[in-house]
């Protein structure tokens, strides 16, 4: 395994500035460095209407899962030209974007086409009740877009260490803000990279979803954690981390505060988990030393994933931070990252066909041990 260089444990030196877009949605600027005087004063002058409203969530009685119905997202921006990117800074006032300022480091704003939104409308008066299960509910919540750089062609793995530290701060701040909303059950921070996995905007960015219900994967994890605690008295995710550290076979990187390992039952052709050594529920609970190391470790993992397949410059990936529920069962959750790619070989994707999509029965075409060997082999 590879050790991580020590990171300075100093506090983040940047600052946060909050403004409002033309339709009332909030936008926050996260600057790498604090500077004197006012910043980000540019106003959003677009003729926008009111902020978007939430759709609804419907209960699937066959699985016990809530499904979000967001028909308004069908018309969201899809693969615009570089000249029309809505995440670029507004350099030309005649062509305004979602970010009014002409310069920024990291910008976070409420999605214009959200899956979940704080503005809700009730069901139609003549809407028939569902035949089984609970009634439909508004898809209350929050959806943030986190823009990692003003550079349209940048990649997260290649950003400066200072910028990555700012991104970690933005993740933590939005997690804290949304977790304080009593209507939010869990906050999920994630990044999709690569058109192969459905990215509709190529500008480097991620998202933050604040769900009104605990999502299915988290619900399964909480239930398994509850059973583990009843049987052993331990924390499932902490005990899994300790077991991987003890065995060492699948550990690919270890620092003072974080360890990265390939899970024993990895589902994807490239998959690695990253977990803090300390029991923390979410990104907001990380201290300065942990946030500083996380910035280094995260980029190192992205670089290794990009080098995983010979001859491939940028590997498409999904990176998601699983965090503890905000209310009931919070003590059963524990922060961890799942980073994976569906690229199984150069030019070949793993498609979720009959077994995975239809039956939910996963089949991996490689072994976790081979994945770990390769991730160690391509270390920086």
Q: What are the per-10-residue average pLDDT scores of the chain (380 residues)?
A: 64 97 97 94 94 92 94 74 91 95 97 94 74 92 98 96 98 98 98 90 96 96 98 98 98 98 98 98 98 98 97 95 97 98 94 90 95 97
Q: Is residue 216 situated within a structural domain?
A: yes
Report how far Cα 160 is from the mean position of its chain's Cα atoms: 20
Taking a C-beta distance cutoff of 8 angstroms, is the pair 259, 251 a contact?
Answer: yes
| CATH number for the domain that contains residue 287 | 3.30.428.10
Q: Is residue 245 situated within a structural domain?
A: yes
Q: Is residue 81 situated within a structural domain?
A: no
Residue 9, pLDDT score: 62
Q: Is residue 98 situated within a structural domain?
A: no
Q: Quote the number of domains for the chain.
A: 1
Name the catalytic one among 178, 203, 205, 322: 205
What is the torsional sign of CA 235, 241, 245, 248? positive
Question: How far, in Å, CA of 233 to CA of 190, rounded?
Answer: 31
- Domain of residue 339 covers 141-380
Query: What is the β-pairing status of strands 26-31 and 106-110?
Result: antiparallel
Q: Is residue 279 situated within a structural domain?
A: yes
Report how far Cα 179 is from the mean position of its chain's Cα atoms: 15
Instruction: Go through 255-287 and write b for each residue having 16 or more CB atoms within 10 A of its CB, e for each that does not.
Output: bebbbbbbbeebebbbbbbbbbbeebbbbbbbe
Measured between alpha carbons, how far apart are the two ends of the chain, in Å?
Answer: 12
Q: Is residue 84 situated within a structural domain?
A: no
Q: Is residue 278 situated within a structural domain?
A: yes
Computed over every residue of the chain, the mean pLDDT equals 94
> In the block, which residue shows the tokens 């201290």?
287
* Residue 142 bears catalytic tag: no
Q: Is residue 82 situated within a structural domain?
A: no
């Amino acid at each position: 395994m590879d050790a991580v260089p020590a990171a300075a444990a100093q506090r983040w030196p940047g600052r946060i500035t909050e403004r409002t877009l033309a339709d009332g949605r909030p936008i926050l600027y996260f600057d790498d460095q604090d500077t004197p005087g006012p910043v980000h004063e540019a106003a959003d002058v677009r003729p926008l209407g009111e902020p978007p409203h939430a759709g609804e969530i419907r209960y699937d009685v066959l699985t016990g899962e809530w499904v979000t119905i967001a028909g308004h997202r069908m018309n969201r921006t899809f693969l615009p030209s570089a000249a029309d990117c809505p995440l670029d800074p507004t350099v030309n006032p005649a062509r305004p974007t979602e970010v009014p300022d002409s310069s920024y480091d990291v910008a976070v704003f409420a999605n214009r086409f959200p899956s979940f939104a704080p503005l809700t409308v009730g069901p139609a008066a003549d809407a028939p009740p569902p035949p089984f299960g609970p009634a439909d509910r508004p898809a209350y919540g929050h959806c943030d877009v986190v823009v990692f750089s003003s550079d349209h062609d940048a990649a997260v793995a290649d950003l400066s260490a200072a910028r990555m530290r700012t991104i970690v701060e933005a993740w933590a701040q939005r997690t804290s803000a949304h977790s304080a909303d009593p209507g939010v059950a869990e906050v999920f921070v994630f990044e999709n990279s690569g058109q192969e996995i459905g990215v509709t905007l190529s500008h480097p960015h991620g998202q933050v979803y604040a769900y009104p219900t605990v999502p299915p994967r988290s619900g399964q994890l909480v239930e398994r954690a509850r059973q583990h605690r009843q049987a052993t008295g331990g924390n499932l995710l902490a005990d899994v981390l300790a077991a991987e550290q003890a065995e060492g076979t699948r550990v690919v990187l270890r620092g003072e505060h974080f360890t990265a390992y390939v899970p024993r039952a990895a589902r994807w052709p490239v998959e690695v988990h990253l977990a803090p050594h300390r029991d923390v529920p979410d990104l907001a609970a990380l201290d300065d030393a942990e946030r500083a190391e996380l910035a280094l470790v995260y980029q190192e993992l992205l670089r290794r994933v990009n080098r995983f397949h010979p001859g491939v410059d940028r590997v498409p990936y999904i990176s998601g931070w699983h965090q503890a529920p905000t209310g009931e069962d919070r003590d059963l959750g524990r922060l961890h990252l799942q980073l994976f790619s569906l690229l199984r070989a150069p030019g070949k994707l793993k498609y979720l066909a009959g077994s995975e999509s239809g039956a939910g029965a996963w089949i991996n075409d490689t072994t976790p041990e081979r994945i770990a060997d390769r991730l160690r082999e391509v270390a920086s």
